[in-house]
Amino acid sequence: MNCTWNRCASWVVSALIATIGVTPLPAQRTQSAEAMLQEAVHQELVVGELEKAIEMYRAVVAKHATDRAVAAKALAYLGRSYEKLGRKEAQAAYERVVREYGEQAEPVQFARARLQALFAAVQAGAEQAAGGAPTYAMVLGELPPFRVQGAPQFDLSPSGDRVVFHRWIGDTLLGTRLFVADRSGSLVRLLFEPQPRAWRYNPRWSPDGRWIAYGEQRRVGNVSRISLSVVRPEGGTPRVLLDSVLDVGSELGGVFWTPDSRGITYAIGSDIRTVDLEGRQVRTVPFRVRYLTQLTGYSPDGRWIAFHERNEGSEQDDEMDVWILPAEGGRAIQLTHVPGFDGWPSWAPDGRSVYFVSDRGGSLNIWQLDVDLQSGLPRGDPRQTTHYGDASILYPRMLGAGTRLTFALVRRTSVIHVAPTDRPVEARTIARGRSPQLSPDGRTVYYVGEGTGQEGIFAVPAEGGEPRRLTHPRPGGPFLQPFQLSPDGHAIAYFSRTGAHNVLSAVPVAGGTARELIRLESREALVPSWSPDASRLAYSHGNGLYTIPAAGGEPAKLAQLWGWDGWTVRWSPDGRYVAALAWTAPETPTQQNAVFVVPAEGGEPRRLTPNEEGDYKEGLEWHPDGQRLTYMYYAGGGGDGTRLAFLDGRPTQLLVDQPDPLWDYVGRWAPDGRRFFFISATRGFQNPWGLYVYDDGARTTSVVWPDTAANPGSSVPAFSRDGRTMAWSVQNDVRQLWVMERPADPGSRPYR
């Protein structure tokens, strides 16, 4: 988190009215300490009297040292005031916060971010004085869409003068085409003519610059065939190396060249396989490819393969660590061990270090870790290489002799829209953030903040106004629905991740301290569900489905299955059942999740979807009548659609399935029970989303909000109790390819 002064102002003000993780003090004493702190903040931020604010912050620390929450904030703001004046005492104040107040999460995070920024500024000054400051240049201003966990859909030539990337052009039924551009970003050539219903992806330039490898998926009837091919950068007829119905060449597992450019390595199932340029298999190494595992490339000497993998036991897609594996097979070595995302490792040209992406500093940036070439063990601690606070940095790669570092830069902006449900074109933007929920009367919008210093849950009037912070911890649930507003509109429940734990908390919407209900040793993606009377919360953990009193108390286990999709737990409108998507056995090609309901007082889970629906399901929601549920279903052969499961056990039915090329995703019923709002992409998951509505009475589907502006991650709408007002978020991404270059003169220090 790199806080600028104006961006951190909202944290400053809201921090005055919320105490994080401490035992409440007597009311008079707490008010006195906070009143002093408020006056100091007023002097700093409103009046601009920095010297006076410094005196007042120091007085707060001296007089209220036992009120650790207030003292930590005062120290953090003291450091900021010193920093505004350019005084060296800022560093000492920040260091004291980190050293003495480790349990105060938000002030410590703020202090660490400022220390990091101070260090970066000093380092940049020293480099500038030595003539070794890096320069930055944009290579491509519009990269194809991708997700943090997805493989890059572009690659730079080894010399850095050209870029290959895929792009949708014209009729989506033609699939994707591969282009080569020069470093200015101007289109140079289409590599070869498109074929109907063929999608090319994951282009990878060979180390000698003579070939481009890529995967291709072709639809032939209901069968998808996956191939791995190579083509010359100048274009021409591609050479197919592998052609099968297997998932060869896809982004699952990774595809990369051998260092000598004579072969291509890919991961699939339980193997890492290498084929030569004639398609002959030349090596197979045992390796279990898990979900989201990505092998990223050989060390320069060919001895090691780098990869990232989701932490064992975690259900969170952003819980990754960096590993390396002997190329000939053997025991993998874990290089990173901290909570959060560490991924996309890339070797330095001399093989002595690995560059990787990490969010350990608050934002996704590039870090460098030295590695012993003989043992494969890390040497020392990682060092931060880029210092962006307002963007995510992905896919590092070194070019040449190690003076040029390339990376993708993503700046993401989500905004909250509010509109009359019947007139969405009248939408007004009220805040920056995502995943909104509406109060029952439709007058307040609750949402997850976005941007530096804006982590947590906020409230803002539906007509617009100043947002009010309710929580500091970022809710740990999934993007689409990370928290739950109680049916009476009085409280918000959410899971947040703390180290190896998932903490279930409830916070009053009127403001105040969040109440911890239970702490689970879990890294699953969990979202609680309120009972209709707001007295209990349902959630899953491991193989169990539970409820817990909203006022606090012991949890009760309702049911047990092999596993639950924790973000799909839903209480029925009448309070009689709890539903969720769950698994009866580990995932296999013939064993996927299913819709289950359990009596709210406990009992045997009852399956509502048939065994014949053996493919994956997402996005479970109750209909307002409490007699049926919707779920998104990935049918075999690449189909998709929303289906209905019935509480009385009758056969499931198709609700919505728009024609190709529309790809339907999750949705939610309006309170009238007639309109089903859902998001859909016209070109697949990684492309822009539109918001649609299906009228169950008229049996028609229409566009609510077009897909011209929104990128993947836009939310389904939330509604007021009467259904007259709706709120949703729209996300926009700027995706660019950059080169960070350090001059290779004797007075500079090249990357290693």
Collapsing DSSP to helix, strand or coil, 629 comes out as strand
User: Strands, E, within 277-332: which ranges?
Assistant: 281-286, 294-298, 304-310, 320-326
pLDDT surpassing 60 at residue 465: yes
pLDDT higher at 581 or 248 = 581
Q: Per-residue confidence at 471, pLDDT binned at 50, 70, 90?
A: very high
Q: Find the range with the poorest average confidence among 301-310, 499-508, 633-642, 716-725.
A: 633-642
Average pLDDT over residues 355-373: 90
Average pLDDT over residues 671-684: 85
CA atoms within 13 A on the CB side of 472: 24
DSSP secondary structure, 567-596, as one string: GG-EE-TTSSEEEEEEESS--BTTB--EEE
pLDDT surpassing 80 at residue 577: yes
Q: Per-residue confidence at 17, pLDDT binned at 50, 70, 90?
A: very low
Collapsing DSSP to helix, strand or coil, 38 comes out as helix
**Nearest partner of 384 among 4, 124, 103, 105, judged by Cα:** 124
Residue 511 CA to residue 635 CA, distance in Å, equals 45
pLDDT for residue 198: 74
Average pLDDT over residues 116-140: 64
Residue 162 CA to residue 182 CA, distance in Å, equals 4
| Burial degree of 21 (CB within 10 A; 0-12, 13-18, 19+) | middle
Average pLDDT over residues 185-205: 78
Q: Over pLDDT 90: what percentage of the chain?
A: 48
Residue 272 tokens, joined: 């890492």
Q: CA gyration radius for the chain? A: 27
pLDDT digits (tens, 9 = 90+) for 216-229: 877 666 666 788 99
pLDDT digits (tens, 9 = 90+) for 326-352: 999 999 999 998 878 899 999 999 999
pLDDT higher at 402 or 165 = 165
Length of the chain: 752
pLDDT higher at 290 or 68 = 68
In angstroms, what CA-CA distances link 551 with 54, 534, 547, 702?
A: 41, 10, 12, 43
pLDDT for residue 607: 97
pLDDT digits (tens, 9 = 90+) for 134-159: 778 888 877 877 777 778 889 999 98
pLDDT surpassing 60 at residue 322: yes
CA atoms within 13 A on the CB side of 532: 12
DSSP secondary structure, 144-178, as one string: PP--TTSPPSEEE-TTSSEEEEEEE-S-GGG-EEE
Residue 154 tokens, joined: 């572009």
pLDDT surpassing 60 at residue 22: no
**Nearest partner of 188 among 205, 165, 154, 155, judged by Cα:** 165
pLDDT digits (tens, 9 = 90+) for 421-452: 999 889 899 998 989 999 999 999 999 988 76
CB neighbour burial string for 254-267, b if at least 16 within 10 angstroms, e if fewer: bbbbbbebebbbbb
Q: Per-residue confidence at 9, pLDDT binned at 50, 70, 90?
A: very low
pLDDT for residue 727: 96
pLDDT surpassing 80 at residue 194: no
Query: What is the SS3 string spanning 445-502?
Result: EEEEECCCCCCCEEEEECCCCCCEECCCCCCCCCCCCCEEECCCCCEEEEEEEECCEE
Average pLDDT over residues 671-683: 88
As a whole number, the mean pLDDT across the chain is 83
**Helices vs strands, H then E, count in the chain:** 6, 50
pLDDT for residue 133: 65
pLDDT digits (tens, 9 = 90+) for 224-269: 678 899 999 998 899 999 887 455 444 457 889 999 999 999 888 7
pLDDT higher at 734 or 372 = 372
pLDDT for residue 174: 55
Q: Find the range with the poorest average confidence among 4-8, 333-337, 595-599.
A: 4-8
Average pLDDT over residues 686-705: 86
Average pLDDT over residues 346-375: 91
Collapsing DSSP to helix, strand or coil, 6 comes out as helix
Provide CB contacts within 8 A for 105, sequence distance 6+. 20, 21, 472, 473
Average pLDDT over residues 73-99: 88
Q: What's the one-letter identity of residue 167?
A: R
Whether this model's pTM surpasses 0.85: no
Q: State residue 25 phi and psi, 5-degree precision.
A: -95, 170
Contact indicator for 648, 627 with CB cutoff of 8 Å: yes
User: Strands, E, within 602-724: which ranges?
Assistant: 606-607, 617-622, 628-633, 641-646, 653-656, 663-669, 675-681, 689-695, 700-705, 718-719
Collapsing DSSP to helix, strand or coil, 103 comes out as coil
Provide CB contacts within 8 A for 736, sequence distance 6+. 138, 139, 140, 141, 142, 143, 408, 409, 410
How does DSSP classify residue 425? Answer: G
**661 upstream amide cis, omega within 30 of 0:** yes
Residue 669 CA to residue 723 CA, distance in Å, equals 10
Average pLDDT over residues 517-542: 92
Angle in degrees, CA 270, 273, 278, rounded to 5: 150
Place of tokens 């040793």: 521
Contact indicator for 583, 569 with CB cutoff of 8 Å: no
Q: Per-residue confidence at 701, pLDDT binned at 50, 70, 90?
A: very high
Place of tokens 């479970």: 620
Strands 544-549 and 294-298: unpaired
Residue 471 CA to residue 460 CA, distance in Å, equals 13
CATH code for the domain defined by 618-712 = 2.120.10.30
Residue 511 CA to residue 607 CA, distance in Å, equals 40
How does DSSP classify residue 514? Answer: P
Q: State residue 375 phi and psi, 5-degree precision.
A: -90, -25
Q: Find the range with the poorest average confidence among 45-59, 214-228, 561-575, 696-710.
A: 214-228
CB neighbour burial string for 672-700, b if at least 16 within 10 angstroms, e if fewer: ebebbbbbbbbbbeebbbbbbbbebeeee
Residue 190 CA to residue 470 CA, distance in Å, equals 51
How crowded is residue 489: how many other Cβ atoms within 10 Å of its Cβ?
A: 19
Q: What's the one-letter identity of residue 148?
A: V
Q: Domain 481-607 belongs to what topology? A: Neuraminidase (2.120.10)
Contact indicator for 578, 598 with CB cutoff of 8 Å: yes
Q: Find the range with the poorest average confidence among 72-81, 325-334, 478-487, 569-578.
A: 478-487
Beginning with the edge strand found earlier in the chain, give each strand of the sheet holding 176-182 in spatial order.
154-156, 162-168, 176-182, 187-190
**Nearest partner of 110 among 472, 369, 569, 484, judged by Cα:** 472
